[in-house]
């Protein structure tokens, strides 16, 4: 928020103070009675202008300002959460900070204009804007296919968050015009309101973001829509007025037609809208990693788990208990890469690893395809999953067996703690499979994290790492460089071969690759899978033996300015993060071809 001159305010204060001082009527006769009357009037005024009254008035100014700043600080995070299911978290954040800064500057600069232009106090518009935001987001979400992930978040926040933040900034500027800063030097008195307001806003935004993201989805009022309605109610308490009658259409839409509201009625309305495209949402819940839902394709017979604008996995439900699949211990995955991860068991080692003696660590659960297969082979399997709702949905709606060890914790802290414990568990197999929001979590691909995995892997153990990215961009190369710096022997395989025609037209090559590595130097080779390895599964027969090996020439060409041989370290992730935006935009486009647009837009 830019500093604002307070000279006009000081003049108005001065004139006001002058006019309020009682004066002796020169036309009246100067008598002892009149003189005594004037002295009593001055004494009465002096009694009312106490330090306590001044402090109360000044406190009221700052409280009103800080309340508005705290509300927009909370809405900053809530707005991003509301856009993530439609656009993904990375595209949603692309313009966010710039738009916030522009709104703060515009509102702070225009406070006097708004005061004069509007026939009522500008603050009275705040609850009206806040109440309309959910409806506007819903309507614009339906146009996301036209707006695209590149511009949709900017357009949406430009007509929702921008006016809310800008008007709030204008109101804060007006409140602080009445603040008594006479004891400060002139230059500081002019700058303090703007700089102090922006500093408080950014601090509140950081604190409230941490609280909101930690507790999102736990109650109705901590869901995306619940928080938007709670904030709208807060604005109504701050600035009630007759203007609220104009919010009736928005309230009716939210109550009866907005499918994003987490109520059974809204879910029924959502599924009625999805019926024409042959999909149904079985369950949905918001959690710390995003908006999660379980979706069935009634037409094609598969089930997927969604997280924001990406999929965590899927399986063919139409095959369960049918024909040759009767009695199968595992479901058929719709994505072959998950079957390829199981080839960690096929890597030849100096001493064969017996399934009944093996221990496996799986980082990232998804729908549980890989852990279910490991358990089916009799391997003692530990799964580390940060999101409890992912584990709940995988257990309830997918074929995740109960006989595994579930660790609901951040994988970074878990592996660090376990690696530092020399007597802690060590594993024959480690499978690293994390993905959400259109990009891999950077912290789980740093040198330090991979070194912890190496410490947890037995000397003859094997690690398999799934990485989804655009081979036309630097991130896959950077990640592979980092992995190879920790594990001396590796081989890489793609899920599908590159489509050269499509690549030539779009310059995009988004795919999954699996990197198999050992701690031993030498050659890495696979044994031929037997019937037991395949678990009576056509998907595993087609994808379990790794194919489509990745060559160095498949990666984007190195550029010295991009760090051709860069290693990803914990405190230097900018080299990867700056490319995740482009990768996420490409992933968004891919996801729109996997499921119909209405499935993504209606949540």
β 290-297/359-363 pair status: unpaired
591 lies in the same domain as 492: yes
Let me know if residue 169 belongs to a domain: yes
Cα end-to-end span (Å), the chain: 35
Domain hosting residue 570, numbered range: 328-601
pLDDT in tens, 310-334: 999 999 999 888 888 888 889 999 9
Q: Would you place residue 199 in the very low, low, confident or very high pLDDT band (cuts 50, 70, 90)?
A: very high
**Tens-digit pLDDT profile for residues 68-106:** 999 999 999 999 999 999 999 999 999 999 999 999 999
Are residues 76 and 217 located together in one domain of the fold?
Answer: yes
Contact 570, 442 (CB under 8 A): no
Q: What digits encode the pLDDT tens for the residues 205-243? A: 999 999 999 999 999 999 999 999 999 999 999 999 999
- Indicate whether 27 pLDDT > 80: no
Specify which residues 361 forms β-bridges with: 382, 430
Is 451 inside any structural domain? yes
Which helix (H) or strand (E) is 470 found in, with range?
A: strand 457-470
- Measured N-to-C along each axis, helices 51-87 and 161-177 cross at an angle, to the nearest 10 degrees, of 170
Q: What's the confidence (pLDDT) of residue 8?
A: 42
Do 245 and 333 belong together in one domain? no
Give yes or no: residues 234 and 333 share one domain.
no
Q: Is the dihedral of CA 138, 139, 144, 147 positive or negative?
A: negative
In a domain, 34, yes or no: no
Torsion of CA 188, 189, 193, 195, to 10 degrees: -10
Does residue 239 sit in the same domain as residue 362? no
Tell me if 155 is assigned to some domain: yes
Q: Compute the distance between CA of residue 34 and CA of residue 22 in angstroms, rounded to an integer.
A: 12
* CA distances to 317, 392, 439, 486 from 417, in Å: 38, 25, 26, 19
18-22, 160-164, 442-446, 570-574 — most confident range: 160-164
Predicted confidence at residue 441, as pLDDT, reads: 86
Coil, strand or helix at 388: helix
Average pLDDT, rounded, for the chain:
90
Does residue 338 register a pLDDT over 90?
no
Domain boundary pick from 219, 236, 256 = 256
pLDDT at position 19, please? 42
Residue 36 pLDDT: 76
Task: Tell me: do 356 and 247 sit in the same domain.
Answer: no
Alpha-carbon distances, residue 588 vs 103, 342, 499 (angstroms): 27, 27, 19
One domain, residues 452 and 352: yes
Where does a domain end: 234, 256, 278? 256
Output phi, psi for 362, to 5 deg. Answer: -115, 120
Report pLDDT digits (tens) over 485-509. 999 999 999 988 888 888 888 888 8
Q: Provide the pLDDT for residue 227.
A: 98
- CATH number of the domain at 222, please: 1.20.1250
Q: What percent of the chain has pLDDT over 90?
A: 72
Question: Which whole-number Å values give the CA distances from 441 to 78, 156, 445, 564, 584, in the listed order?
Answer: 21, 26, 7, 21, 12
Say yes or no: 434 and 561 in one domain. Answer: yes
Task: Let me know whether 359 and 251 are in one domain.
Answer: no
Query: Does residue 248 sit within a domain?
Result: yes
Strand positions, DSSP E, 176-289: 279-287
Picking from 92, 290, 137, 144, the residue whose alpha carbon sits closest to that of residue 598 is: 144
Count of domains for the chain: 2
Output DSSP code: residue 177. H
Residue 181 placed within a domain: yes
Q: What is the pLDDT of residue 18?
A: 40
234 and 368 together in one domain: no
Is 148 within a domain? Answer: yes
Torsion 229-138-434-344 (CA) sign: positive
Residue 268, in any domain of the structure: no
Per residue in 103-137, pLDDT (tens digit) is 999 999 999 999 999 999 999 999 999 999 999 99
Answer yes or no: do 227 and 346 share one domain. no
Choose among 533, 511, 502: nearest CA to 583.
Answer: 511
In this predicted model, what pLDDT tens digit does every residue of 2-24 receive, in sequence order? 544 444 444 444 444 444 444 44
Q: pLDDT at residue 44 above 90?
A: no
Q: What is the CATH number of the domain that holds 446?
A: 3.40.50.150
pLDDT at 51: 76
Which residue in this structure is represented by tokens 């710390």?
288
- Among 256, 271, 303, the domain boundary falls at 256
């Amino acid at each position: 928020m830019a500093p604002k001159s307070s000279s006009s305010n000081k003049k108005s204060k001065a004139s006001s103070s002058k006019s309020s001082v009682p004066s002796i009527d020169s036309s009246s006769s100067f008598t002892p009675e009149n003189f005594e009357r004037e002295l009593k009037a001055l004494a009465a005024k002096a009694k009312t202008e106490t330090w306590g009254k001044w402090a109360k008035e000044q406190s009221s100014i700052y409280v009103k300002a800080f309340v508005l700043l705290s509300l927009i600080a909370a809405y900053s995070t809530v707005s991003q959460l509301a856009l993530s299911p439609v656009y993904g978290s990375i595209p949603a954040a692309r313009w966010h900070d710039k738009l916030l800064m522009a709104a703060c500057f515009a509102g702070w600069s225009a406070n006097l204009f708004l005061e004069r232009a509007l026939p009522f106090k500008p603050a009275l518009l705040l609850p009206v804007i806040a109440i309309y935001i959910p409806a506007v987001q819903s309507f614009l979400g339906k146009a996301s296919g036209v707006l695209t992930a590149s511009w949709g978040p900017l357009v949406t926040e430009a007509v929702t968050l921008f006016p809310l933040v800008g008007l709030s900034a204008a109101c804060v500027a007006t409140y602080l015009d009445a603040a008594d800063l006479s004891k400060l030097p002139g230059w500081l008195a002019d700058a303090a309101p703007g700089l102090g307001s922006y500093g408080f806003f950014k601090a509140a935004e950081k604190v409230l973001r941490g609280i909101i993201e930690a507790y999102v989805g736990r109650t109705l009022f901590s869901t995306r829509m619940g928080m938007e309605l709670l904030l709208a109610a807060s604005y109504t308490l701050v600035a009630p007025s007759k203007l609220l009658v104009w919010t009736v259409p928005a309230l009716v839409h939210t109550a009866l037609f907005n499918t994003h509201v987490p109520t059974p009625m809204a879910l029924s309305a959502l599924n009625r809208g999805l019926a024409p495209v042959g999909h149904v949402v079985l369950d949905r819940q918001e959690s710390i990693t995003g908006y999660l839902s379980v979706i069935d394709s009634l037409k094609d017979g598969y089930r997927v788990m969604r997280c924001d604008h990406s999929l965590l996995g899927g399986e063919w439900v139409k095959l369960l208990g049918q024909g040759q699949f009767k009695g199968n211990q595992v479901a058929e995955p719709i994505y072959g890469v998950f079957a390829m991860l199981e080839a960690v068991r096929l890597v030849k080692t100096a001493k064969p690893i017996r399934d009944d003696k093996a221990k496996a660590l799986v980082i990232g659960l998804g729908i549980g395809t890989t852990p279910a297969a490991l358990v089916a082979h009799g391997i003692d399997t530990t799964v580390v999953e940060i999101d409890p709702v992912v584990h709940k949905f995988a257990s309830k709606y997918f074929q995740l067996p109960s006989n595994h060890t579930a660790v609901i914790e951040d994988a970074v802290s878990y592996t660090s703690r376990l690696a530092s414990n020399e007597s802690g568990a060590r594993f024959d197999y480690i499978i690293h499979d994390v993905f959400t929001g259109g990009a891999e979590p950077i912290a789980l691909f740093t040198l330090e994290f991979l070194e912890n995995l190496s410490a947890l892997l037995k000397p003859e153990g094997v690690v398999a790492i799934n990485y989804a990215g655009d081979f036309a961009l630097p991130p896959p190369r950077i990640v592979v460089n980092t992995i190879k710096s920790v594990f001396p022997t590796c081989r890489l395989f793609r899920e599908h071969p590159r489509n050269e025609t499509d690549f030539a037209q779009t310059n995009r090559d988004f795919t999954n690759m699996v990197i198999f590595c050992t701690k031993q130097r030498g050659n890495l080779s696979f044994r031929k899978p037997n019937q037991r390895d395949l678990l009576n599964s056509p998907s595993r027969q087609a994808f379990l033996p790794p194919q489509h090996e990745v060559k160095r020439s498949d990666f984007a060409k190195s550029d010295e300015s991009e760090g051709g041989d860069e290693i990803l370290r914990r405190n230097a992730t900018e080299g990867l993060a700056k490319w995740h935006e482009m990768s996420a935009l490409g992933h968004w486009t891919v996801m729109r071809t996997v499921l119909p647009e209405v499935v993504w837009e209606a949540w």
